[in-house]
Amino acid sequence: MRHTISCIVRNRPGVLANLASGLAHRGINIHSLAVNESEGEGVSRLTIVVEGEPHQLATIAKDTAGQEDVVEVEDLDRFLDRELVLVKVNIKTEDLARLMQILEVMHADVAAMDVNSMTVEMTGTEEKITGFINLLKPFGIREYARSGRVAVSAGETL
C-alpha cells in the first residue's frame, strides 16, 4: 500500500536524514522522495511516497509532525501530482520520424541531441512516465532519471 505525504520543514542540516531514518526504523520503504524550497522563507516542501502495511502507515503523519523541524504534515488523500523524466535514447535516421511522433503524442520535448542519441523530457503522472519509458525501450534507452512525485493537495474546484 502507498501513501503520499507532504511535509513543510525548516531548511536545516539533517532534517531529511532524520525523517528518512524514522521511516526506516518503522520498516517503511520510501518509494519516492522529492524536496526543494517552497512557498515560505527558510522552509522546504518534501513529498514522500511511502510503501508499507496499513498498520505501519497509520501513524506516519502524526509521528512526522512531532519532529522538531517539521512545520506542517499532510497525508494526501486527494492530490495533484507530477514527475519529470529525462530519457537518453539511441537515434537512427530510419527511426527518427517514429520517435518524433511518440514525443508529439506524449507531449514530450527534445532537451538535447547529438549524432547518436537524443535526450527527451516529459512531465506527467507516475503511470504516464512509466508508459513513456516503455514506448522508448525499442529505440534503446541509454539512461534515464526520474524526479519522483511532487504533489499538492487537490483544492476545491471553481
Each residue's pLDDT tens digit in the chain (158 positions)?
Answer: 888 999 999 999 999 998 888 888 888 889 999 999 988 889 999 999 998 777 777 778 888 888 889 999 998 989 999 999 999 999 999 999 999 999 999 999 999 999 999 999 999 999 999 999 999 999 999 999 999 999 999 876 54
Tell me the CATH number at 139. 3.30.70.1150
**Residue 26: domain span:** 2-77
Whether 16 maps to a domain, the answer reads: yes
Which residue(s) pair with 151 in the sheet? Answer: 81
Nearest to 119 by CA among 134, 130, 103, 98: 103
Tell me the CATH number at 38. 3.30.70.260
Do 90 and 69 lie in one domain? The reply is no
Q: What is the pTM of this model?
A: 0.84
Whether 158 maps to a domain, the answer reads: no
- Which pLDDT score, from 0 to 100, does residue 158 have? 43
**DSSP codes, the chain:** -EEEEEEEEE--TTHHHHHHHHHHHTT-EEEEEEEEE-SSTTEEEEEEEEE--HHHHTTHHHHHHTSTTEEEEEEESSEEEEEEEEEEEE--GGGHHHHHHHHHHTT-EEEEE-SSEEEEEEEE-HHHHHHHHHHHGGG-EEEEEE---EEEE-----
Do 86 and 39 lie in one domain? The reply is no
Looking at the 3D structure of the chain, how many domains does it have? 2
- Which pLDDT score, from 0 to 100, does residue 156 have? 67
